[in-house]
Amino acid sequence: MSEKFIPVCEPYLAGNEIKYVLDALETGWISSAGKYITQFEEAFANYCGVKHGIAVANGTVALHLALVALGVGKDDEIIIPNFTMIATAFAVCYTGAKPVFVDAEKETWNIDVNKIESKITKKTKAILPVHIYGHPCDMEEINRMALKYNLKVLEDSAEVHGAEYKGKKCGSLGNIAAFSFFANKIATTGEGGMVVTDDDELAEKCRYFKNLCFPVKGPRNYQHNEIGFNYRMSNLHAALGLAQVEKLDFYVERRINHNRLYRKYLQGVHGIIFPMEEVDTKSVYWMNGIVVDKESFGLNRNELMAKLKQDGIDTRLFFTGMHKQKALLQYGCKCKGNFSISEWLEENGMYLPSGSNLHQRQIELICSQIKKYSKAN
């Protein structure tokens, strides 16, 4: 990586990626059959501590497929965080159901579990928490509410490979979970996703719906009884995925270490706020998000991003709240209400370079530039 430009994130392909992809190419298994699909599914499900993994084309369709398997459809409501990436909401819309937004919690930036209950109605079918930027949500409270109101729980685990909540891996904490393997994710296949679950029936439904509703067992016929989707992953992508899972603990450790370094070098810098890590959780810091408080730092978030850009340091804005998304307004979502924490995050939050292949000296450099721009300097 060049010292002149530090990207927010680059894929880190440090293991058997080339070997496995070449093998897939040389043997001609380049489509959605082949040994890497099953090996990747088994290895990743095993990593998450669940029985089944169903590889798909990306994280967005993994969410949609999980919702379809849960039987979500028209007239249902699904509780989601207001502060998330649009894919969470869109996946709900694809089913015909309505996403219902809950504001974020100030400390962790995850869904505020204390605000979920007031949004539950007779139409609510599931809670869809998102482990934002790699930090596990308060799953005990979410599962308690799901039990009380007979709801399903789908974890949007796109950003959280390897994170743990009370000793269990994210992805194993609800009925079903969806992961993304986009290029900036902790494990990547370029484009890719996976549904994971312990539930045999849900897993079978996912396999059925992801492949145009061809029969999962028995001979293939061309009689289709339901509307299905082609969400298959190719063996080439799965070859990348298997190599990534083999080294996943290494990548996770690197992300966590980057966060330790950021916190260490930025300690005492007024106006730079990190999320709180709850006790009994292991956050994997997919991205190192910070909130910039202009009063105490001196510059606002946009000014700091502009300065860092001049220094060749790439950063990104935080998500825009779901209640402000025109697409969802047009779709008839209830966008009125108090989403003040999401708005605070959207206006003041940014994330710093976080890729697994960052070096300590680069983090040191980024932090020394941030310090230079603080008003205390």
Ligand X SMILES: Cc1ncc(COP(=O)(O)O)c(C=O)c1O
Residue 182 found at the interface with ligand X (CB under 6 A): yes
Q: Which of 6, 34, 60, 205 binds ligand X (CB under 6 A)?
A: 60
Distances (CA, A) of 7 to 251, 285, 336: 17, 16, 36
Least distance between ligand X and beta carbon 153 (Å): 15
Residues 198, 214: Cα–Cα separation, whole Å: 22
Site for ligand X in 145-164 (CB under 6 A): 156, 158-159
- What are the CA-CA distances from residue 364 to residues 83, 152, 291, 371 (Å)? 30, 44, 19, 10
Task: Measure the CA–CA gap between 212 and 203, rounded to whole angstroms.
Answer: 15
Q: Does 82 bind ligand X (CB under 6 A)?
A: no
Please state the closest distance from residue 289 (CB atom) to ligand X, in A.
12
Question: Binding residue for ligand X (CB under 6 A) from 45, 130, 242, 304?
Answer: 130
Distance between CA 350 and CA 298 in Å, rounded?
Answer: 16
Tokens representing residue 329 in the block? 């307004």
Segment lying near ligand X (by CB under 6 A), choices 67-75, 82-90, 252-260, 298-306: 82-90
Using CB under 6 A, which of 37, 55, 69, 85 touches ligand X?
A: 85
Instruction: State in angstroms the smallest separation of the CB of 361 from ligand X.
Output: 28
Which residue, 70 or 367, is less far from ligand X as judged by CB?
Answer: 70
Under 8 Å between Cβ of 96 and 216: no
Choose, by CB under 6 A, the member of 180, 259, 362, 374 that binds ligand X.
180
The residue whose Cβ lies closest to ligand X is: 59
Residue number, 86 or 216, with CB nearest to ligand X: 86
For the beta sheet containing 281-282, the strands, ordered from the edge strand earlier in sequence to the opposite edge, are 168-169, 164-165, 281-282
Map tokens 């990348």 to a residue.
Answer: 240
Provide the annotated active-site residues.
185
Residues 6+ apart with CB under 8 A from 26: none
Q: How many residues bind ligand X (CB under 6 A)?
A: 14
Q: Which residues pair with 99 in a beta bridge?
A: 78
* Closest CB 179 distance from ligand X, rounded Å: 8
Distance, CA of 209 to CA of 229 (rounded, Å): 6
| Cβ proximity of 184 and 204 under 8 Å | no
Q: Which of 32, 82, 88, 172 binds ligand X (CB under 6 A)?
A: 88
Q: Give the shortest CB-73-to-ligand X separation in angstroms.
A: 20
- The stretch near ligand X (CB under 6 A) out of 31-39, 41-49, 55-63, 329-337 is 55-63
Q: Dihedral of CA 315/319/324/327: which sign?
A: positive
Q: Which one, of 42, 29, 31, lies nearest residue 246 by Cα?
A: 42
Selected binder of ligand X within 32, 84, 110, 288 (CB under 6 A): 84
193 counts as binding ligand X under rule CB under 6 A = yes
Q: Is the CB of 59 or the CB of 162 nearer to ligand X?
A: 59
Beta partners for 54? 195
Q: What radius of gyration, in Å, describes the C-alpha atoms of the chain?
A: 21
The SS3 call for residue 224 is: coil
Q: Tell me which stretch binds ligand X (CB under 6 A): 58-66, 99-107, 252-260, 267-275.
A: 58-66
Q: Would you count residue 58 as binding ligand X (CB under 6 A)?
A: yes
81 strand-pairing partners: 102
- Is residue 194 a contact residue for ligand X (CB under 6 A)? no
Q: Which residues here bind ligand X, judged by CB under 6 A?
A: 58-60, 84-85, 87-88, 130, 156, 158-159, 180, 182, 193
